[in-house]
Amino acid sequence: MLNPKKRKEMEFTNKIEIRGVVGRAELNTYAENRVCKFTVITEYSYHDRDNNPVIESIWFTVNAWEGRNMPDLNLIQKGSWVRVLGRVRNSRFTGQDGVERISWDIQASRVDIIPREDEPMQPQRYL
Length of the chain: 127
What residues pair up with 64 in beta bridges, in sequence order?
Answer: 36
**pLDDT (0 to 100) of residue 98:** 93
d(CA 28, CA 25): 10
Q: Which residues of 20-46 are buried (b: 16+ CB within 10 A; e: fewer)?
A: bbbeebeeeeeeeeebbebbbebeeee
CB-based contact 20:81 (threshold 8 Å): yes
Segments of the chain with pLDDT less than 50? 123, 125-127
Nearest to 81 by CA among 46, 123, 45, 109: 123
Model pLDDT, residue 122:
53
Q: Report residue 51: phi and psi, to 5°.
A: 65, 25
What does the pLDDT read at residue 37?
Answer: 96
Cα→Cα distances 102→31, 41, 60, 79, 91, Å? 26, 20, 14, 27, 6
Tell me if 73 sits within 8 A of 65, measured CB to CB: no
Q: What is the predicted pLDDT for the residue at 9?
A: 67
